[in-house]
Structure 1
Amino acid sequence: MFEMTIFFLFTIGFVIYFLYRVNKRFSSDYEELELKRIIPFLEEKGGNHLSHLILLQDKDVYWAQDGRVLIAYKKIGNKLVVLGDPIGEESSIQAAIREFNKYSRSIGLTPVFYQISPRFMHHYHDTGYRFLKLGEVAIVNLDKFSLEGKQGAKLRTRLNKFTRNSYTFKVMNPPYSNDLLSELKVISDSWLGDQKEKGFSVVSFSEEYVSYFPIALLSDPEGNIVAFATLANDYKKNMTIDLMRKSSDSPHGTMDVLFIHIFKWAKERGYQHCSLGMAPLAHVGDSPFSFKKEKLARVAFLHGNSFYKFKGLKEFKSKFACTWEPKYLAYKKSFLPNVIIQLLLLINSQPHQKYVIDKIKYLFKKAG
C-alpha cells in the first residue's frame, strides 16, 4: 500500500512537471501563432469596445463563417460565454451568431453573449435569445469635451494645481524596458492592495499585456510615476482607457488629471471617442416600466455599494462622459440567477494565460 502511494505521488508530480515544462517551452510559440492571425484580422476588420481584451490570452477564439467573423469566448460550467458581439463583416454577424449557437449545442453547452450592443440585438432575438440590461458604457466625445465654463471648473482647477506643482504627462510606446515594467508592476500592486485581479471582461496587469499598448504616464516633480493607463483602440477612430492604476499615496485628483491629459492627447491624434468602460448597473431598472429582474438589479445598485462600488464608479465616469451606451446580456431560456452566478465566478476567477492543455495540443500538432 505504501509503495502504491509513493508511485501515485511520483506520477502526479511527473505530470505536473511535464505540463510546466511544456507550458514554459511552447507558450510563446503558441501565443505568437494565435496573435499572428488575430491582430491582422482586427486591423483589417476593426474591433469593438472589448476586442483589446482578447490580447489577455485567457479566452478561446472561434472563427465563424469561414474565418470572416471572430468570436472570443470562455467556458464555465455548462456555458460558453462570449465577450461582446462577434467581430467581422457585418453582413456575416447574424449567420455567425447562429453558427456559434449550433456549435455550442453540438458539444452539449449553452451559449451566452456578455456585453452585447443594441446594434445587433435583432440578430440575437431572431436566434432565440432573451436579454438583461447589464449597465452602460461611458463614452467621451473628444470633439465636445471641454474644461471651459462653469461645468468644467472643478476639473480645470484640479489640472491647474497639478501643473503648478510640476506634475508631468507623457505617452510612451512599446517596446518597454524591464525597469519601466517593474515600476508599473509596483504601482499596480500598490493599487490592488489586498484585492485580487479579475479576468475575462475586466483587464488585469501583466507585463506581456501592457506591452501591447501605448501607456499614458503621470509623474510627480521628482519624475516618479504616480499613475498610468494603457490606451487601447478598436482599430478605427475610437480609443479605450483600459488598465488604469495609481500608487496608494498619489494625491487626490490624480486619475482626473491623468484622464484629462489622455483626452487632449487622443483628440490631437484624430480619435473621435474615448470609452471609459462599462459602469455596471448604470441606468438599469430606473424606469417604472423596467422588468422585475432589472428592478431587482436596481436595488443592488442603490444598496450594494459595500460589495462593489457601483454608484462611485458611475459618478466618477459621469464627470467626463458625454453619452452612455447600454450593454446587454443575451442568454437562452434558463434559470437567470444561475447564469449571473456563473458570470460572477468567471469575472472573479484568477486571470491566466492560454490553457496548458491547449499548448499540449499545439505541441502534438507541431510534432506532426
Structure 2
Amino acid sequence: MRFTFASSHLKFLMRAALPTGAFAFCAVLLAQYVSVDHLRSLPARLGDIAPWRWVMAATFTLGSFWAVAQYDALAHRALSTGISNNRARITGAIGIALGQTLGFGVVTGALARWRMLCDLSLTGAARVSAFVCATFVVCWAIVTALVCLVMPAPEWTFIPSLAVVACVPILAAMLIFFPVINWMKITVHLPNLRISGAILFWALVDTSLASGALFTLLPAGTLAFITFLPLFLIALGCGLVSNTPGGIGPFELVLISALPLGDPTHIMAAILGYRIVYYALPATIAGIALLRPFAASTGPNNDGPVSSHHWLNHSALIAQNGGTLARRAQSMLALWPTGQTVTQFCDPVAGTRNDALQHLKDTAKDTAQLPMIYKCGAHMAATARLARWKVLHIADEAIVPLASYDTASSAYRGLRRKLRNAAKANVILRAGHPLPFAAMARVDAEWQTAHGRARGGSMGRYCPNFVSNQWVACAYIEGRLVGFVTATHGGDTWQLDVMRHSKDMPDGVMHSLVNVAILAAKNAGALYFSLDAAPACPDPKHRFWHWVTKKVATRAGGPGLRQFKSSFAPVWKPRYAAAPTLGALTLGLIDITRAIQRPIPLATQDTQPTHNVDENYELASFTAT
C-alpha cells in the first residue's frame, strides 16, 4: 500500500526532523566531554551554587526580559497595529518566553500573542511574531560581529564578523531606498532606521544581560566576562539556527567545547541553572499569564483611508499614495507614509497650525518615525520655524485668481496664441461623463512611453477609480482622443491633477484643456484654480542648490513646465518642506524623492469607475477657441 503526502506535510516533517537531528548530533559530540557520571552529579553541583548567584542570575534575567519586551513594542509601532506599548511589552515577553522554550518561535510566539490580544487577528499576531524573530536574528548577527571584533574571540570569527559589519551600510541603504520589498506574491515592509537602531540597541542590552545570567552561575575564575560574551553570542546563534527548543544541544556543545573545562560538571550545572532561571521559570509564568488574556480595547480609531469623497484638492491626492486622514480633537492632517518619515502633506486639513504641529510630532512618536512637512504654505512654515524646525523653500505653486481671469487681457497674449493654434487644428473639447476610459488608458500609456513611468506624490497618476470622481476634459481630433486633463473640483479652490496627451497632439491643445477647466471652476463659483507646483531654488546664489534645483526641474518636466503654467498668469505662492533637524529634513526629502520616483501601486486598476458624479457637471462639447 502506497501513501502520498502533500508537499506541505513533507515540509512540516522536514522542519520537525531538522531540530531533532541537530539535537541528536550535538548529543553525540557532547558525549566526548560529559560522561554519565557527570550527569548523575549535576543535582549536587546545582546545590553548590551560592544563593546570591541565583539571585543575581534572576535579576539579569528580569532585565533581559524587560529589554526583550521592547521588541514587541517596536514591532507594533512599525506595523501600526494600534496596540498600546504596555500591552505590546507584556505580550512580547510572554510570546518570547514560550517561543524560546518550546521551539518553533514564530509559530509559538504568534499563538501566544493572539491568545493575549483580542484586538489582534491571528494574521496580525503572525506578522508581529515574524517581525520580532527576523529583526532579532539580523541584530544578533550585527551585535555578535561587533563584539567579536572588539573583544577577545576565536580567530575564525574575524573574517565573518568583518563581512557582517561591512554589510551594515548596505542594509541601512536598503532601509532608506527600498522600504518595501515585493517578492513573488509576498510584500515585506522593512523597519525604518529609527526602529532598526532601537532594536539593535535592545538586542545588545538583551544579550548582554542574558549572558550575565549564565556568567553569574559559572564557577568563579572560569574566565573574564569580555572573553565569555563572544562565546555566549556564538552559542546563542548556533541554538537559533538549529531551531531546537531553547537551542538545547548546540548551545551546550559550543560552550562546553570552548570554555576551560577542568570538571565539566560545574559548567553543565551552570548551564542547567541558566536553563531553569532563563527558560523554565519565564515559560511557567508566561503559561500562567495565558489564562488571563487582555480584554478588547474600546478606544476609537480616528485614522482612516482618505478617498476623494472626503476631502478635496491637495488632501485628496494622498489617497493615491497610501495616505491616511488623521483626526484629533484639535486638528486633522493628511498624512503620507514615506518610509523613514511620516509626512504632513500641505497645510492642515483642519485646526490651528500649532495643534497640527503637535499632532504630527505625536504621530511620528507613536510610529517611531521622523516628522516631516511637505509643500506647506508660508504660515505653516513660519510656525515650524518658531518651533526651531529646519525649513526649506522647495517649490512655488501656481494659483490663478478666477475673479481676474480674462484671456482677452494683455497678460494672456501667449495663451491666446496657443488657443488659436488649437482652434486651427479643429480640436473638439468635451467635458463631462461618461468618460472614454479605454481611450484615456491608451493616451496615458502613450504618454508614459514618451515621458517615463508616472510618478507619485502630487504629480498625478491616471486611475479610473479616481478620475471618475474628478472634473475631466478631453480633446478630440476627428473623433480620436489626443489629450485630457483632470481636476479635483468643489469648494473655493479647484486643483489641476492629471495631464496626459498623445505624441501627435497639436500645439496648444493642453493650454485649451486647462483653460476650459479654469473657466468651469469660475462658472462653478470657485475663487482660485491651482495649477500645482513647480520646483524652486532655496538659494539661487548657492551653487549646490542651483545644481539640485536644475536636476529636480529636469525630472519634473524641465523649464517648459513652469513656462506652461506661467502662460495662465498665475500668482506664484512659495511652498516649503520642514523637519525638526537638518538630518531629518535631508532624510525626509530622500524619502519623498523615492516615493515620487517609485510610487506604491494605485489603489485599484479597474477599468470601470465605482461611481460617476454626472450630477456635478453636464456633458459639454465645443470647439477650441
Alpha carbons 1:216, 1:228 under 8 Å: kept: yes
Superposition pairs for residues 108-123 of structure 1, below 5 Å?
108-123=368-383
Q: Residues 110 and 202 (structure 1 numbering): CA distance in 2 closer, same or farther, change over 3 Å?
A: same
**Which of 244-253 and 149-158 deviates more?**
149-158
**Which of 160-169 and 313-322 deviates more?**
160-169
In structure 2, the residue matched to 1:26 is none
AA of the residue aligned to 1:100: L
Q: TM-score, with normalisation over the residues of structure 1?
A: 0.74
Picking from 70, 80, 93, the partner of 2:333 is 70
AA of the residue aligned to 1:342: D
Q: SS state of the match for residue 446, structure 2?
A: helix
Superposition pairs for residues 325-340 of structure 1, below 5 Å?
325-335=573-583, 336-340=585-589
Offset, 1:345: 0.6
Q: Distance in 1 between matches of 2:457 and 2:510?
A: 24
Offset, 1:276: 0.6
In structure 2, the residue matched to 1:313 is 561
- Normalized per residue, the structure richer in strand is 1
In structure 1, the residue matched to 2:406 is 146
Q: SS state of the match for residue 50, structure 1?
A: helix
Q: Distance in 1 between matches of 2:517 and 2:368?
A: 45
Q: Residues 83 and 35 (structure 1 numbering): CA distance in 2 closer, same or farther, change over 3 Å?
A: closer
In structure 2, the residue matched to 1:214 is 471
1:312-356 Cα distance to aligned partner (Å, 9 max, x none) = 22122111132001000011214254333222111112332469x
- The question of 1:80 aligning with 2:365 is answered no
Q: Which structure has the higher relative contact order (CA within 8 Å, separation 6+)?
A: 1
Offset, 1:104: 1.1
Offset, 1:183: 0.9
Alpha carbons 2:400, 2:568 under 8 Å: kept: yes
Q: Distance in 1 between matches of 2:488 and 2:336?
A: 20
In structure 1, the residue matched to 2:457 is 200
Q: TM-score, with normalisation over the residues of structure 2?
A: 0.45
Alpha carbons 2:306, 2:316 under 8 Å: kept: no
Q: Distance in 2 between matches of 1:310 and 1:247?
A: 18
Which blocks of at least 5 consecutive residues in structure 2 are unaligned?
1-6, 16-126, 128-182, 188-303, 605-625
In structure 1, the residue matched to 2:48 is none
- Normalized per residue, the structure richer in helix is 2
In structure 1, the residue matched to 2:428 is 168
- The question of 1:251 aligning with 2:514 is answered no
Identity of aligned residues (%): 19
Q: Residues 63 and 354 (structure 1 numbering): CA distance in 2 closer, same or farther, change over 3 Å?
A: farther
Q: Residues 197 and 184 (structure 1 numbering): CA distance in 2 closer, same or farther, change over 3 Å?
A: same
Alpha carbons 1:64, 1:71 under 8 Å: kept: no
In structure 2, the residue matched to 1:182 is 438
Superposition pairs for residues 43-58 of structure 1, below 5 Å?
47=312, 49-56=313-320, 58=322
Superposition pairs for residues 84-99 of structure 1, below 5 Å?
84-89=346-351, 92-99=352-359
Q: Distance in 2 between matches of 1:86 and 1:340?
A: 19
Considering only CA atoms, is the larger Rg found in Structure 1 or Structure 2? Answer: 2
Q: Residues 351 and 204 (structure 1 numbering): CA distance in 2 closer, same or farther, change over 3 Å?
A: farther
Q: SS state of the match for residue 344, structure 1?
A: helix
Alpha carbons 2:332, 2:348 under 8 Å: kept: yes
Q: Distance in 2 between matches of 1:311 and 1:301?
A: 11
In structure 2, the residue matched to 1:61 is 325
In structure 2, the residue matched to 1:232 is 488
Report the RMSD for the aligned CA atoms in angstroms. Answer: 3.2
AA of the residue aligned to 1:79: T
In structure 1, the residue matched to 2:527 is 272
Q: Residues 148 and 344 (structure 1 numbering): CA distance in 2 closer, same or farther, change over 3 Å?
A: same
Superposition pairs for residues 278-293 of structure 1, below 5 Å?
278-281=533-536, 284-286=538-540
In structure 2, the residue matched to 1:344 is 593
